[in-house]
Amino acid sequence: MIPKVKELNLISMYLYISELYNSELRFSCQRFSNNANPAFSDEEILTIYLFAMTSERKFKIKQIHEYANDYLKSWFPLLPSYVAFNLRINRLSEAFRLLTAHLFDSQRPSDCILDQNLLDSMPIITCSGKRNGKVAQAITDKGYCSTKGMYYYGSKLHVLAFRRPNHIPFPESYIVTPASENDISLFKQEWGEIDNRTFFGDKIYNNVPFFEQLYSQHNTTMLTPVKKIKGTDIKLEMRDKAANDLFSTSVSKIRQPIESLFNWYIEKTDIQRASKVRSTKGLLIHIFGRIAAAYIFLIFNS
């Protein structure tokens, strides 16, 4: 049994997921077999996963299944075994991705500045850099996190977020890549043709020729802290130091909230640690499912 308030929360979440599943998500996980309509539905799987994570802070699949078996059996009497539950979860990675996209579109706050974006990335760590990573090799490899000053195996979550003054930014788009993927290279491939925007990034995006061309073609500007140029005359450097420091501080202050966004993801879902993942589908579930859980939390627990 669970408290009455949580029961109402569970019912509301199931109705929300069920409506969305029937209108959008089911097309991403259709089955063309004799078991096309299993007794334990995908809607129930999604609801249990999101409810246990947002209401009980159960982050591991085994913990989620044990919680459902102990406390939610009256609501889900056909709950399968842990092995079957885990298998079913892994088939829903695309459904979780579409769910996060829907949440980004439907829950966007009114105070988002739609022509200003913050850019950054965070590591999703499957194991330390001292080991030889062998999990989900299609989307993982060895990379370096300058913020933590460490090498690691895993993926990188790149986020493009709308600026919200005095609030945590709200994502417009995100992309998962292997850990070694360079942020500026990813930007050129995925977001380099967006028109009429002002981007705020860190020093890795300091590529003056590229962004001068981007401005002339798409009226798009990239603002980053000033990067020192090797070989610059010391007199020129000292002359411009005050102005450069002031500009860099202003840009850093504007883009700092995206670090708060990542910290919020970590606090609510423990997204950064993926050491228990054993497959590519499992890693995708780990990433998409936890991002979805973070925004589901806002809807049903705020």
Clarify whether residues 183 and 217 are in a common domain: yes
Q: How many domains does the chain have?
A: 2
The pLDDT assigned to 52 comes to: 95
- Amino acid (one-letter) located at 286: H
The pLDDT assigned to 245 comes to: 83
Name the DSSP class of 40.
S
- CB-CB contact of 284 with 97 (8 Å): yes
Please work out, in degrees rounded to the nearest 5, the angle formed at the alpha carbon of residue 58 by the alpha carbons of 17 and 56. 75
The pLDDT assigned to 134 comes to: 84
Clarify whether residues 154 and 291 are in a common domain: no
Clarify whether residues 130 and 95 are in a common domain: no
3-state secondary structure 133-192: CCCCCCCCEEEEECCCCEEEEEEEEEEEEEECCCCCCEEEEEEEEECCCCHHHHHHHHCC
Clarify whether residues 293 and 224 are in a common domain: no
Clarify whether residues 294 and 187 are in a common domain: no
pLDDT < 50 positions in the chain:
none
pTM of the model: 0.90
The pLDDT assigned to 23 comes to: 92
The pLDDT assigned to 60 comes to: 92
Clarify whether residues 130 and 207 are in a common domain: yes
Clarify whether residues 93 and 126 are in a common domain: no
Residue 190 neighbours by CB under 8 Å, 6+ apart = 158, 173, 175
Neighbours of 142 (CB within 10 A): 16
Clarify whether residues 230 and 161 are in a common domain: yes
Clarify whether residues 136 and 52 are in a common domain: no
Clarify whether residues 93 and 154 are in a common domain: no
Clarify whether residues 121 and 253 are in a common domain: yes
The pLDDT assigned to 233 comes to: 59
Helix axes 280-301, 4-23, angle to 10 degrees: 120
Q: Which domain holds residue 163?
A: 111-265
The pLDDT assigned to 231 comes to: 60
The structure tokens listed for 176 are: 């998962």
The pLDDT assigned to 177 comes to: 96
Clarify whether residues 132 and 223 are in a common domain: yes
